Chain A
Amino acid sequence: MRTMRRSRGLQRLGALLCLMAVVALVVPLAALGIGAAGTTMTIDQTTGGLETRFTYETATAPGETVLGIDFAFPEGTDTAKATADAVTLVGLQRSNVTVETQAKGTSVKVIFSPSVEPSSTLRVVLHDVLTTYAGGKQTVSGTYTTQTGTHKLPPMTFTQGAPTVSQRIGFWLNRQPLVKTWNSVPILNAFFNPQLIAISIPILFWGWLLSIALIGVAYPVAIPIGLATAFLKMSKLAPVRWIASAYINVIRGTPLFLQIYIAFFGLPLVGIRLPDFPLGVIVLAVNSGAYLAEIFRAGIQSINKGQFEAASSLGMTYAQAMAYVIIPQTVRRVLPTMTSEFILLFKDTALLSAVGIFELMMNAKNSAANTGNVTAYTVAAVYYLMITIPLINWVGKLEQRLALSEGASGSPGTKTRKSGALEGMARMAAPVTADAGTPDDTDGR
């Protein structure tokens, strides 16, 4: 009796073990079939109302041969233009599968030939499925057919946002006959595609802000660097002058592009790791500092020696003479050149796109690469010009004012290229405003 019970207990245990073994075997098998865990459905558009590419990746179970899949998309989806292709892989080795696509209403049926073999990875790509305008979390269900019959496809979800304002404008433009005519001209379509202008403006705006932020921090940092270097270069001690010269010559003698690569790819290799933004700012500031140093030095040296002598005769020290007499006059003279340097540096922020900083140029490049259309570059050009054109005009005005104020003197001693080039203008303006010369400018002849 006892032994019997015991043996029954053993039997039960055996049955349980058997059952467990079967479950253990079946579960992984079930997990391998179409639509089981590990199956993914990805989309290439994050907002609704666009022709979307769906990539469905799954695996067939051992013993499961798949003849076709019928995808049922949510209500409102338009599959009229949909096409499909597929590939099956065992490991990394692909085999060709031709796909017959039958699109009807909200469903796309794909039939594989040859059928998908057991235990292989299956990737089905559905192109140009027009999703619903409203977006949101949506479900794709359907059926699939194996050698044993038709089964329900485990549903998958995908999420799309509602179209942005610029995309809505794009949709509206799509429907306008005038826009269609406009885009039928290749050059207008390539450079001034209205839909892409609408979409690019907000995307590029953030890149534009980053470009402005880069220059907005870098340039104020570059000014003290430049000023300090200018004084070092005018030092009485030769080694100090050499250091300043070396810095100026190396920076001015090499492309900014190369300096950016050294900073971004070279420095980290020797353990100097900085986040992208500060590193970008440093490269720009160090680069501009060298140019500003030469601008400042030329500006200071352009002030007539007599000014310095006069200041000394009043009992001023070197520092006082610099601070109260020389520098104030220098500022006015170098302001146009400094502004030009600012414009140059602002445009050079575009080079940072090569090292993965999402400034204006990078955003434009991305848009152009994604759309195969260069309209984004046109929009980027407008963004750059919005900063540079007002500044260019301002430089013009500054130069004019400088020419007028120095008109009476027409200093031949100016060494900066800009003020040198201005002398002709200054002389021409001189007869009209002969008395416009500032009283502190004793440089007359």
Chain B
Amino acid sequence: MSKHSKWIALALAVAMLGTAGLIAGCSSSTASTPGTTGTTPAKATVKTVTAGTLVAGSDTAFPPFESMNGNTAEGFDVDVVAAVAKEMGLKSEFKSYKFDTLIPTLIAGGKFDIIASGMTINADRKKQIDFSSPYIDSNQSISVTNASTVKAAADLAGKKIGVQSGTTGQQWAKENIPTAVLVPFDDTLSAFAALQAGKVDAVVNDLPVSAAVVKDATRGLKIVQEIPTGEQYGFGVSKANPDLLKAVDGALAKIKSSGEYDTIYKKWFGVAPSSK
């Protein structure tokens, strides 16, 4: 018996060491083979995590920008990334992450090439990552249940506000309604579920997303205040990959001038993008 268990222990130890080695090996190989060295077509000179594919990291609970339809991501961002990738001669793929882990994961590298997650370009984030040129405008909003007496931000003093962790909505609520208790959720849809369940009194969130959520009448929610913040979303790119940033910006400009961007915009928002 004891002899037997010694062998089992030895085998387990070897297996553990082997796994550790495998992990180390894998991580170093992803780091060293990101893409396309040597004989590749002139178009795809940018480095991507998976050769030939532009992988986007995204918090896919943010309709109409990105949401999961079964196993596939769909939404405005998904279509724009697909068009951008096509322009770059790449395929595109979406991977789901929690919003507040997107920037650290992008910096750590090896998981995805860009962040496409309705992410507002702001100075704090720019310190950590680069952003493509803006691809859409956004604002903030306050949503409540239909039965709520809350009419505007001022009515939320001392109340509970649901937000998505790490978002500009969270920042706005923290700075503009300092007496309120902020309840951060992993994703926007959880914050709205908590609002429906009466766990929070309001949700402060990006206006286009809130508008899409409250459109579903079965939720029994309404937007009581639109907050003009003039935010703009951009695709996040690692500071270590300036070539990719340039390529994404170039492709974005091309799909905007070709009208493909307008088609995608119309598909998801029902109207043509307002010209400035």
**In the complex the two chains form, is A43's CB within 8 Å of B123's CB?**
no
Give chain B nearest CB distance to A392 CB in angstroms.
20
- Which residues in window 258-314 of A have CB below 8 A to B? 264-265, 267-269, 273, 276
State whether the Cβ of A253 lies closer than 8 Å to any Cβ in chain B: no
A424→B187 CA distance, assembly (Å): 49
Q: Which residues of A contact B197 (CB under 8 A)?
A: 264-265, 267-269, 273
B226 lies within 8 A of chain A by Cβ: yes
Q: CB-defined interface of B235-249 with A at 8 Å, one 1/0 digit per residue?
A: 000000000000000
- Asked if B199 contacts A42 (CB within 8 A), the reply is no
Evaluate contact between B100 and A368: CB separation under 8 angstroms: yes
**Which A-chain residue is minimally distant from B185 (CB atoms)?**
A356
> Which of B1, B178, B199 touches A356 (beta carbons < 8 Å)?
B199
- What is the bound-complex CA distance between A365 and B101, given in angstroms? 10
Of chain A, the residue at the smallest CB distance from B174 is A44
Contact (Cβ within 8 A) A365 B176: no
Whether A89 pairs with B228 at a CB distance below 8 angstroms is yes
The B interface, classified by DSSP as helix, strand, loop or mixed, is: mixed
Docked CA distance A92–B165 (Å): 24
Binds A, one of B45-53, B64-72, B188-196, B250-258: B188-196
Bound-state CA distance A288–B215 (Å) is 40
Q: Write the A23-48 contact mask toward B (1 if CB under 8 angstroms, else 0).
A: 00000000000000000101110100
Which residue of chain A has the shortest Cβ distance to B134 in the bound complex? A96
Q: Which residues of B contact A92 (CB under 8 A)?
A: 139, 207, 226, 228
* A366 within 8 A of partner (CB): yes
Task: Report chain A residues within 8 Å CB of B178.
Answer: 46
Interface of chain B residues 193 through 217 with chain A (CB within 8 A): 193-194, 196-200, 207
Instruction: Give the segment of A2-10, A120-128, A341-349 that binds chain B.
Output: A120-128
Contact A269 B196 (CB under 8 A): yes
Determine the distance from Cα of A438 to Cα of B228 in the docked complex, in whole angstroms. Answer: 77
Distance (Å) between the CB of B109 and the closest chain A CB? 12
**Stretch touching chain B among A80-88, A200-208, A212-220, A231-239:** A80-88
Residue A149, interface by CB 8 Å: no
Query: How many angstroms between the C-alpha atoms of A424 and B198 in the bound complex?
Result: 54
Instruction: Decide if B226 touches A264 in the complex (CB within 8 Å).
Output: no
B274, CB-defined interface residue at 8 Å: yes
Q: Please, what's the 1-or-0 string for A51-86, where 1 marks a CB less than 8 Å from any CB in chain B?
A: 001010000000000000000000000000001010
Q: Given A93-B274, A372-B103, A374-B104, is A83 in contact with B175 using a C-beta cutoff of 8 Å? A: no
A94 within 8 A of B: yes
A424 to B230, CA, bound (A): 69
The reply to whether the CB of B162 lies closer than 8 angstroms to some CB of chain A is yes
A95 part of interface (Cβ distance < 8 Å): yes
The answer, yes or no, to whether A385 is at the interface (CB within 8 Å) is: no
The smallest beta-carbon distance between B154 and chain A, in angstroms, is 11
Q: Are A264 and B199 in contact (CB under 8 A)?
A: yes
State which residues 343-402 of A face B: CB under 8 Å: 354-356, 362, 365-366, 368-370, 372, 374
| A91 in the interface (beta carbon within 8 A) | yes
Contact of B19 with A by CB under 8 A: no
Please give the distance in Å from A270's CB to the nearest CB on chain B. 10
Instruction: With both chains docked as a complex, state the minimum distance between the C-beta of A244 and any C-beta of chain B, in angstroms.
Output: 30
B183 touches A356 (CB 8 A): yes
Q: Is B128 interfacial (CB 8 A cutoff)?
A: yes
- Quote the shortest CB–CB distance from A294 to chain B (angstroms): 27
Cβ contact of A366, chosen from B128, B165, B175, B232, cutoff 8 A: B165
Say yes or no for B171: interface residue by CB 8 A criterion.
Answer: yes
- Which residues on A sit within 8 Å (CB–CB) of B110? none
B276 is an interface residue with CB less than 8 A from chain A: yes
Q: How far, in angstroms, from A125 to B126 measured CA to CA in the complex? A: 14
Q: Which of B176, B193, B194 contacts A40 (CB 8 A)?
A: B176
Q: Chain A CB within 10 Å — which of B103, B139, B198, B228 has the most?
A: B228
Q: For residue B191, which residue of chain A has the nearest CB? A: A356
Which residue of A273, A365, A369, A372 is within 8 Å of B128 (Cβ)?
Answer: A372
- Specify the chain A residue showing the minimal Cβ separation from B196: A269
- Of B103, B165, B198, B228, the residue contacting A268 (CB under 8 A) is B198
Q: Does B29 contact A (CB under 8 A)?
A: no
Q: How far is the CA of A374 from the CA of B198 in the complex (A)?
A: 32
Pick from A94, A273, A355, A424: contact of B137, CB under 8 Å: A94
**Chain B: which residue is nearest A365 at the CB level?**
B165
Contact present for B100 and A365 (CB under 8 Å)? yes
B229 within 8 Å of A by Cβ?
Answer: yes
Residue of B nearest to A358 (CB): B183
**6 nearest A-B pairs in the assembled complex, by CB-CB distance:** A268-B197, A94-B230, A87-B230, A42-B175, A369-B100, A356-B183
**Would you list 14 pairs from A and B whose C-beta atoms are within 8 A, ordered by A residue?**
A42-B175, A53-B123, A83-B123, A89-B228, A93-B274, A93-B276, A94-B137, A94-B230, A127-B123, A268-B198, A268-B199, A354-B190, A356-B162, A356-B199
B residues adjacent to A (C-beta < 8 A): 1, 100, 103-104, 123-124, 128, 137, 139, 162, 165-166, 171, 174-176, 178, 183-186, 190, 193-194, 196-200, 207, 226, 228-230, 232, 274, 276
A interface residues (Cβ-Cβ under 8 A, vs B): 40, 42-44, 46, 53, 55, 83, 85, 87-89, 91-96, 121, 123, 125, 127, 264-265, 267-269, 273, 276, 354-356, 362, 365-366, 368-370, 372, 374, 424
- Additional pairs, 9, CB under 8 Å, beyond known A92-B226, A370-B166, A374-B104: A42-B176, A44-B175, A88-B230, A92-B228, A93-B276, A94-B228, A273-B198, A362-B184, A372-B104
